[in-house]
Amino acid sequence: MSGTDDDHAHRSLFAGLRIVSLLTLVSRVLGLLRDTGMAVLFGNGAVLDAFSVAFRLPNLARRIFGEGALTSAFLPIFVREMEQSGKESAWRLASAVLLLLAMLLAGIVFAVELLLWLAVSVFDLTDNAELLVGLTAVMLPYLLLICLAAQISAVLHALGHFTLPALLPAFLNIVWLSTVWLVAPRFASPTTQIYVIAVSIPLAGCLQLLLQCPVLWRFGFRPGGGLRHRPREWIESVRDPLREIRRAVLPILIGISVGQFNSVLDSFIAWGLAAPEGGAAAVISLRPLESGTASALYLGQRMYQFPLGVFGIALGTVLFPLLARHAERDQLQKLRDDLTLGLRLVSCVGLPASAGLVLLARPLTELLFQYGEFNSHDADQTSAMTAVYGCGVWIYCSILLLNRGFYAVGDQRTPMIIGCRTLLINLVLNLTLIWLIGGVGLAVGTVAASAIQLWLIMRSFENRLGKLNRTALMATTLRSIPATVLMCAACLATLTVLPAGEDFTHRLLRVSMSIAASVAVYAGVARLLGMNELWMLLKPGSVTTD
């Protein structure tokens, strides 16, 4: 690409990032309101624990099959088909992938539903286990719907359309939030309430899938690329690209899902090793975790995923197609430069986001969750998880980008191998730390394992694809650190001046004033230090990537 083309690509990158970040912010706010409603309705306890674990399964499949492995394997090959063979070939590939994905996931959903039915019919399950199985069965069809919706989103991303895909989580949160606040409270039993909420999840999945179809059609998509043949012949016409995708999916699946497996593993450990409420001392001694640990873990992860989704995942979403085009054109220097730019953006946004989440963990927990059945002890559990996970926001963002760099050049094995090592490290840390520091050890183990993963993947990337621009990356980091320190001082001063209160208005004022002071100080210091990356994000047309 020429210099003009590069400037246009970067302007498009930042424009897309602003759109996706804004829409993701709206969705995350709705998600926090939704989680607040769940906490108020159920508190940290067995019912919310069962729902949190049950929702992990379809949500894990969405992130792995829909937004993770398949998307990462599919997008570079779709871009290549579009550039080398034209739109009709690309549409045939998209049609074949959607068809095969629908068949595979429908089979998985049917098989798992059958196993769940057999579990209830054959085994004498405890009330908690029966609730977990029942909620899983109700929400499992969401797996099929959201994975198809996410695959359509990947096609739209490759075409440079990010708006509607970024709105999809908002549709889920609107349906879920409406059910939590308007429908579930009409029922007296907590069990009935949680099942009503579970039913709303696949209904939202239908909405997420159907709303994208007209947009895809307007872009020119036709099933089979316009071929008037049976689906079998669509598949035959793109057999070679499909074979490439199939070979790439498994290693990407393993590599990209490590973080998700870690989260699910943490949840099952928290659920399985939690002492029952009011249980006997002998049982408690064999189960070192408190009841409600799984819920606190889930809410803590939701909190750190707020900045991760608003910025980290948004950045990875809009940067990945650009990296794939660089790789397709054998422009590895441009790929390294744009990946360095992404890491510089992580440094200037991820570091203060991590620090802010640590400092505001307790005030945010009180503001969002400490009402109704969610008491002060529940807030202690959740804020501790949030603070620990918050330390790793910049780590998770960096890993996500570096993985995308590998996938863009067709290297799926390296992230997979590093991910497997990290999974084992996390498991060992989890099973060690929970006996030493309790439930928060699950979060500490995950963050520590992720830090090791980042170091390994950075070293491997530079050995495989050449050095990143460490001088530029270090310059951004050295500007971000003092700005973050002064931001923390402003945040702590504001929290001290405005002591904690009991009512919502007081809590909202305390959090919002702390955030406003932090952002103002960070932006002011960043400007004085010449941190141009921040203005690339905020000011349209301001693009200086040197």
pLDDT digits (tens, 9 = 90+) for 434-446: 888 888 888 898 8
Residue 274's pLDDT is what? Answer: 67
Phi/psi for 267 (5° steps) reads -65, -45
Q: Which residues, other chains included, contact 355 with Cβ-Cβ below 8 Å and sequence gap of 6+? A: 484, 487, 488
Residue 546's pLDDT is what? Answer: 47
Give residue-wise pLDDT tens across range 64-122. 655 566 677 788 888 888 877 778 888 888 888 888 889 988 998 999 999 999 988 88
Find where tokens 């579970």 sit: 198
Residue 280's pLDDT is what? Answer: 40
SS3 204: helix
Mean predicted confidence (pLDDT) in 449-475: 91
Q: Which long-range contacts (CB under 8 A, 24 or more apart) does 6-14 make?
A: 6/334, 7/543, 9/322, 10/341, 10/543, 10/545, 11/541, 11/543, 12/160, 13/318, 13/319, 13/322, 13/338, 14/536, 14/537, 14/540, 14/543
Kindly tell me if the per-residue pLDDT of 375 is higher than 50.
Answer: yes
Confidence of residue 331 (pLDDT cuts 50, 70, 90): confident
Mean predicted confidence (pLDDT) in 12-26: 73
**Residue 454 in contact with residue 415, Cβ under 8 Å?**
no
- From residue 321, give the alpha-carbon distance in Å to each of 11, 71, 155, 315, 389: 14, 11, 10, 11, 29
Give residue-wise pLDDT tens across range 184-235. 888 888 889 999 999 999 999 999 999 988 988 888 887 765 555 666 776 7
Nearest C-alpha neighbor of 343 from the set 403, 388, 390, 387: 403
Residue 282's pLDDT is what? Answer: 37
Confidence of residue 249 (pLDDT cuts 50, 70, 90): confident
Residue 522's pLDDT is what? Answer: 93
Mean predicted confidence (pLDDT) in 364-382: 81
Instruction: Kindly tell me the burial class for residue 104, based on how many C-beta atoms sit within 10 Å of its own C-beta (0-12, 13-18, 19 or more).
Output: middle
Residue 9's pLDDT is what? Answer: 63
Window from 32-46, 477-491, 506-520 with minimum mean pLDDT: 32-46
Rounded to an integer, what is the distance from CA 533 to the centroid of its chain? 23
Give residue-wise pLDDT tens across range 163-181. 888 888 889 989 999 998 8
Residue 542's pLDDT is what? Answer: 47
Strand partners, 274: 289
Residue 277's pLDDT is what? Answer: 56
Residue 222's pLDDT is what? Answer: 77
Find where tokens 């608003």 sit: 310
Window from 283-292, 354-363, 415-424, 476-485 with minimum mean pLDDT: 283-292
Find where tokens 């990945």 sit: 320
Kindly tell me if the per-residue pLDDT of 284 is higher than 60.
Answer: no
CA distance 1 to 525: 35
Kindly tell me if the per-residue pLDDT of 486 is higher than 90.
Answer: yes
For the chain, what percent of residues have pLDDT higher than 70?
86
Kindly tell me if the per-residue pLDDT of 494 is higher than 90.
Answer: yes
Phi/psi for 392 (5° steps) reads -105, 10
Residue 286's pLDDT is what? Answer: 58
**Residue 295 in contact with residue 369, Cβ under 8 Å?**
no
Work out the mean pLDDT of the chain and round it to a whole number: 82
SS3 409: coil
Mean predicted confidence (pLDDT) in 428-439: 86
- From residue 424, give the alpha-carbon distance in Å to each of 312, 396, 400, 438, 450: 25, 18, 19, 20, 11
Mean predicted confidence (pLDDT) in 356-360: 92
SS3 289: strand
Confidence of residue 287 (pLDDT cuts 50, 70, 90): low
Residue 279's pLDDT is what? Answer: 46
For the chain, what percent of residues have pLDDT higher than 90?
23
Locate the domains of the chain by residue range: 1-41+257-469, 43-249
- Please indicate whether residue 201 or residue 305 has the higher confidence score (pLDDT): 201
- Please indicate whether residue 131 or residue 537 has the higher confidence score (pLDDT): 131
